[in-house]
């Protein structure tokens, strides 16, 4: 990262997603067919018990926290515990909404049964910082513990910020990523009434017939370390964070700035931070939500930065749905898996790219690829933009 004193390595990651629990099942899911005929795709037959000390602890964690703990367990199992002072081991986590299932359930209980029946665990279960707090307590991480809540850009912002904490020398290791479980009846009604959800029940990023997103959920967690310390302890380095950027459209609460002006600036700032040129990027994992305005703005931005058909582009949301604040984490995990398998997964659900778009979209089948620097970008309601550049080890 530009001007930084330390390189930042990724030494472990874990995934919980509707298309697969665990990173290997997640990868198989990304190569499978799209989710169709639904307004949401969720983790089916979810059992939190294997990730908690007992059933009581599991019950006292909202679904969003359960996903985070499960993904963290897989990440630490791969990485091992970095040999650093606990006070220099941070937790920078993300969510867009937090414990919405608990909040909605407890509101229904209050309306039906009265105030005295509301759970005393409502507040610690619904608060947006619960997931990061739970991870820090489980693993005795005593460094900075902060939660980023910038809508659909939250995980990308969190990972970028976590990398800076290491690059700047404040931390020697950081757990980061994001979790989301917001597919409640009220949430879906709200997104549906604002016409953000797909009326056809299909996510088709950048397709000419795209008509909105399908709600997703899940979590991905990463272990970041100072590169030299990771090498010293013999950790396997899976990738390196080269750069990151965050900015604001300052345009509209839900719509992107016309022409993707804010996204263009954010992507360029990430390139500058990584000290790379646009031609150095070999893959873009796009936000690609399947909404008319956002896909158009993002495609315009990518063409502006990388040139027409200048870089391979993919979006996983045809499989995963749009996991809001966890989207960037799931997509960073997809990038690491594409490094491992030397393959870019296809943009599931998309069959006919919008003719107004001049992007090289990977469609239909995976594309063989020589791993190289990859940009992953996310854009959130409120005008939040985030871009992250990850390179193979």
Q: In DSSP terms, which residues pair with 386 in a beta bridge?
A: 246, 378
Distance (Å, whole) CA 151 – CA 203: 19
- DSSP label of 52: S
- DSSP label of 168: T
- Give the Cα-Cα-Cα angle 109, 115, 121 (nearest 5 degrees): 70
Distance (Å, whole) CA 300 – CA 239: 28
Is there a contact between 286 and 298 (Cβ–Cβ < 8 Å)? yes
Distance (Å, whole) CA 391 – CA 393: 6
Q: Are strands 239-248 and 384-392 parallel, antiparallel or unpaired?
A: antiparallel
| Ramachandran region, residue 333 (left: φ > 0; alpha: ψ -120 to 50; beta: rest) | alpha
What number of CA atoms fall less than 13 Å from residue 372's CA on the CB side?
A: 14
Catalytic site positions? 152, 287, 322
Distance (Å, whole) CA 334 – CA 328: 10
| Maximum separation of any 2 CA atoms in the chain, in Å | 61
- Give the Cα-Cα-Cα angle 81, 83, 89 (nearest 5 degrees): 80
Angle between helices 292-306 and 261-274 (to 10 degrees): 40
Distance (Å, whole) CA 62 – CA 100: 8
Among 62, 64, 69, smallest CA distance to 105 is for 62
Q: In DSSP terms, which residues pair with 377 in a beta bridge?
A: 387
Is there a contact between 244 and 388 (Cβ–Cβ < 8 Å)? yes
Distance (Å, whole) CA 215 – CA 68: 18
Distance (Å, whole) CA 25 – CA 43: 12
């Amino acid at each position: 990262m530009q001007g930084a004193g330390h390189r930042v390595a990724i030494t472990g990651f874990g995934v919980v997603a509707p298309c697969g629990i665990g990173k290997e099942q997640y990868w198989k899911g990304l190569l499978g067919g799209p989710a169709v005929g639904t307004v949401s795709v969720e983790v089916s037959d979810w059992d939190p018990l294997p990730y908690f000390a007992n059933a009581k602890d599991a019950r006292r964690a909202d679904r969003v926290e359960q996903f985070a703990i499960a993904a963290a367990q897989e990440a630490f199992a791969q990485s091992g515990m970095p040999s650093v002072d606990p006070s220099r081991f941070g937790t920078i986590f993300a969510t867009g909404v937090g414990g919405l299932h608990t909040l909605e359930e407890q509101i229904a209980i209050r309306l039906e049964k009265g105030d005295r029946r509301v759970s005393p665990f409502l507040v610690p279960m619904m608060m947006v910082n619960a997931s990061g707090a739970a991870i820090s307590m489980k693993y005795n991480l005593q460094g900075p513990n902060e939660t980023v809540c910038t809508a659909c850009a939250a995980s990308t912002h969190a990972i970028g910020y976590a990398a800076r904490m290491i690059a700047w020398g404040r931390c020697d290791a950081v757990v980061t990523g994001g979790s989301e479980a917001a597919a409640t009846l009220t949430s879906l009604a709200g997104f549906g009434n604002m016409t953000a959800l797909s009326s056809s029940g299909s996510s088709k990023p950048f397709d000419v017939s795209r008509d909105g997103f399908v709600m997703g959920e899940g979590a991905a967690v990463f272990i970041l370390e100072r590169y030299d310390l990771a090498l010293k302890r013999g950790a396997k380095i899976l990738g390196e964070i080269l750069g990151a950027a965050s900015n604001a459209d300052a345009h509209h609460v839900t719509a992107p700035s016309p022409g993707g002006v804010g996204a263009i600036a954010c992507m360029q700032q990430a390139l500058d931070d990584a000290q790379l040129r646009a031609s150095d990027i070999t893959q873009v994992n796009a936000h690609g939500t399947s909404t008319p305005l956002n896909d158009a703005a993002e495609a315009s931005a990518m063409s502006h930065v990388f040139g027409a058909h200048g870089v391979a582009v993919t979006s996983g949301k045809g499989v995963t749905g749009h996991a809001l604040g966890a989207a960037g984490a799931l997509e960073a995990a997809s990038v690491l898996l594409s490094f491992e398998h030397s393959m870019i997964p296809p943009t599931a659900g998309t069959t006919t790219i919008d003719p107004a778009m001049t992007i090289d979209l990977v469609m239909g089948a995976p594309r063989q690829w020589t791993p190289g620097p990859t940009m992953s970008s996310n854009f959130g309601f409120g005008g939040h933009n985030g871009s992250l550049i990850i390179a193979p080890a």
